[in-house]
Amino acid sequence: MRKLIETDQENLVECDNFECDFEVTNETKDPNADITSYLNQPCPKCGENLLTEEDLYDYKKVLKLINRLNWWFSWVTIFIPKTKKPFEGSVKVHDGIKMEETK
């Protein structure tokens, strides 16, 4: 059965500094990849923190929510035609969880 929420993680981490463009690409696109090695590490470009404990906690909370929704509600996908264009969006975790639609 299809998942209700499909996930693709392009980057493992992105620098918290909005003026810095440093990011670590996720080659596998797996959202469950281990990112704890970036916890409280400085950005090689600007020195900002790459991943705070709060952001890691929020990230794990989002993944847990997605997994639960897929577990309990994936049956809904039998009513959604495969040809229908899916909703696409992005989630950023820094000082809270921010979601936005990708256009």
The 10s digit of each residue's pLDDT in 29-87 is 888 888 899 999 999 999 888 888 998 999 899 889 988 988 898 888 888 777 767 77
The 10s digit of each residue's pLDDT in 9-36 is 888 888 888 899 998 998 888 888 888 9
The structure tokens 């996930």 sit at: 7
CB 16 within 8 A of CB 94: yes
* pTM summary value: 0.75
Nearest in space to 69 (alpha carbons), one of 2, 8, 12 = 2
Residue 95 buriedness (CB in 10 A; 0-12 / 13-18 / 19+): exposed
pLDDT of residue 89: 76
